[in-house]
Structure 1
């Protein structure tokens, strides 16, 4: 749940913001896979969403659903298998299509964990054409991607390695599914993905983890509910870090966009840090970067903070930027 975006929307700050999302592996299984249902619709009508999935039927269903909803943002789902480069590859279609991958399921290993074989075991294979994120965005004329989500069953690093240009030039945040054990043969694991993204200038903020117990075990510990097998890793650019300053000073609009992404992704502490920085660095010269009123309006929503608002360190720092407010 976002903290600051409603205030920023009401004050008109979002009116100048164009937000572009890219979801690789965009099959929609429920409301949790729909960006608009998870808060991103606040950026409409200046919101653009691109979904890529190897399954043509899944893309057709997603596009048909959008037509019936008459949405006020731009969203399209494109049938394409993304990988490291343009070429040909084998798609391993699994018992449950959502687990299909460019990597072959590790069936002997999967059998050791409850419920995985029925989902991930191989059904059939098909030869497909692959492309890279850099190539397809160039072909489609996509100039900018702000947020990238990847969920393609072990091939996430392949896509990242084929996204050098967009990672360097525009992406501010990445949500990527990672595996901690090889559910697919020879797949990259979390350490490989983490190392790549850190070298690309991203910082790990959080992991949402998933566990599975052994097939044969009738017992599971409440403290250790099986083995850690996969999860979602959340990465952001840290535009305030010293190495990101110097001659290559981040654009304040880029920092503002990053704050908005952090807020909608439920990292309000990072969003607040960025909004405070913009206020102190740019707020006196340009009212568009004075977010002090938005910070106050958002924090008073919390009863436990409202009573002591004037004593908060964050308020002490931005007090000179707030007019006509009595603490």
Structure 2
């Protein structure tokens, strides 16, 4: 599992990020919730503007995190939303059982770090299951836990790049039945998902195919995608993009682009700094972005908060809030528009 970008506002390209050097976190172990660098805050507090506009109570978001391992390079993408009190629940799935156990030991510190404090501010649940399309397969545990996958690492390709073979070598194999997110909805508070994050090392399309019912309510999908077959026979970005567009989602942005130097070139000062070849990225999709026809008032508010707190997508936030303006729900749109314009 590759670390999420957090050292710059979401949406900023960071080709130097990616799987850590073997000397950093060689086992991909989970770390205390407060140890990872925090996302930078947005330019302005949207909650206060919404309150001035007559929105007294904000709906809270239901998050599902597929491939939920915490790394110390960056905090999880949903953390800004949770930290500011906008999450109702976070349900994570992590098939590396010891990593899932560590996640569950962090629940108290995660809750204490929320805006409202206390365990009642957000419900956390981490489950040791691999999500997919319900089929049975082989789970490959790799030398760096974050690169473990239901797919076989494509070593002949990976060894062409600096320090990729070292972190993707399979050390253990086990039979595992994947579970469909659609079948697990009863175990999710509210029986629905607003924000879906996926980081499963080439297995993203199988997860999405097992979540077609859940996707009908999902507002934003944040998924890792690959541009080359880092895992054998894996679907690539084009395949994931085609599927999500078929489900009514619109590509919004890449949060980050990652690569590695191709051998024989080796930069001694920064061996992981890519030269030109892009290998993988995090991609963000928004359901029905252009028209927002099927969104309720609460869904529009949740969408605006997700895009604001996590991605700093201020122009799209205004587009979403304009829909509320047409419904006479928000009265501060014009002052908010002027504030955004003044920042650029």
Interval of TM-score (by shorter of Structure 1 and Structure 2):
0.7 to 0.9
Matches for 1:92-171 after TM superposition, within 5 Å = 92-139=140-187, 142-168=190-216, 170-171=217-218
Higher helix share: 1
Given the alignment of the two structures, is residue 5 of structure 1 paired with residue 50 of structure 2, yes or no?
no
Matches for 1:145-294 after TM superposition, within 5 Å = 145-168=193-216, 170-207=217-254, 208-218=256-266, 225-241=275-291, 245=293, 249-264=294-309, 265-279=311-325, 281-283=326-328, 289-292=329-332
Q: TM-score, normalised by structure 2?
A: 0.76
Q: CA offsets, 1:305-324, max 9 Å, x none?
A: 7xxxxxxxxxxxxxxxxxxx
In structure 1, C-alpha distance between the alignment counterparts of 2:308 and 2:338, rounded to whole Å:
13
For structure 1, the 5+ residue unaligned runs are 284-288, 306-327
C-alpha contact (below 8 Å) 1:212/1:225 kept by paired residues: yes
> Secondary structure of 1:77's partner?
strand
Q: CA deviation at 1:67?
A: 2.1
In structure 1, C-alpha distance between the alignment counterparts of 2:82 and 2:189, rounded to whole Å:
23
Q: CA deviation at 1:251?
A: 2.2
Q: CA deviation at 1:40?
A: 3.2
1:76 matched residue in structure 2: 125
In structure 1, C-alpha distance between the alignment counterparts of 2:175 and 2:244, rounded to whole Å:
29
Q: CA deviation at 1:70?
A: 4.4
For structure 2, the 5+ residue unaligned runs are 1-40, 113-120
In structure 2, C-alpha distance between the alignment counterparts of 1:228 and 1:199, rounded to whole Å:
25
Q: CA deviation at 1:140?
A: 5.2
> Secondary structure of 1:113's partner?
coil
Change (3 A) 1:239 1:112: closer
RMSD: 2.6
The number of residues matched between the two structures is 288
C-alpha contact (below 8 Å) 2:260/2:274 kept by paired residues: no
Which one has a bigger Cα radius of gyration? 1
Q: CA deviation at 1:84?
A: 1.0
> Secondary structure of 2:83's partner?
helix
C-alpha contact (below 8 Å) 1:22/1:51 kept by paired residues: yes
Q: TM-score, normalised by structure 1?
A: 0.80
1:296 matched residue in structure 2: 335
Q: CA offsets, 1:143-180, max 9 Å, x none?
A: 11000000000000000000010012x10100000000
Q: CA deviation at 1:299?
A: 4.9
C-alpha contact (below 8 Å) 2:50/2:332 kept by paired residues: no
In structure 1, C-alpha distance between the alignment counterparts of 2:188 and 2:81, rounded to whole Å:
26
Q: CA deviation at 1:25?
A: 0.2
In structure 2, C-alpha distance between the alignment counterparts of 1:34 and 1:224, rounded to whole Å:
23
Return the structure number with greater relative CO, CA threshold 8 A, min gap 6: 2
Change (3 A) 1:140 1:297: closer
